[in-house]
Amino acid sequence: MTVAEISEQFDALIAGRRSAEEIERWADERMRAHDARDLEFVPRADEGRLWRAITYLLGVGLKVSADQYLHSKEDFEAFRRQINV
């Protein structure tokens, strides 16, 4: 897992190229790989930041109603700036 891979997911989410649900599935696959000890962080020093991004992306599809997401595009952009990916 690299910063570039995480950055690609944020790019796709913010630009609307992938749905929030698709991004969640991507993050869930990484979480499962991590649980199976099959996820490598490159460089290792970025593990904390990358893991934080993965766990954030696991919740981007949360909804407050049937047609309204909990988080907005601006929320995604702010989080991305906060963790610098």
Residue ranges per structural domain of the chain: 3-83
Per-residue three-class SS string for 23-66: HHHHHHHHHHHHHCCCCCCCCHHHHHHHHHHHHHHCCCCCEEEC
What pLDDT sits at residue 64? 95
What is the three-class DSSP state of 70? coil
What pLDDT sits at residue 4? 96
Q: What is the pLDDT along the chain (85 residues), one digit of tens a residue?
A: 999 999 999 999 999 999 999 999 999 999 999 999 999 999 999 999 999 999 999 999 999 999 999 999 999 999 999 999 9
What pLDDT sits at residue 51? 96
Residues ≥6 apart with Cβ < 8 Å to 1:
30, 39, 40, 41, 42, 50, 54
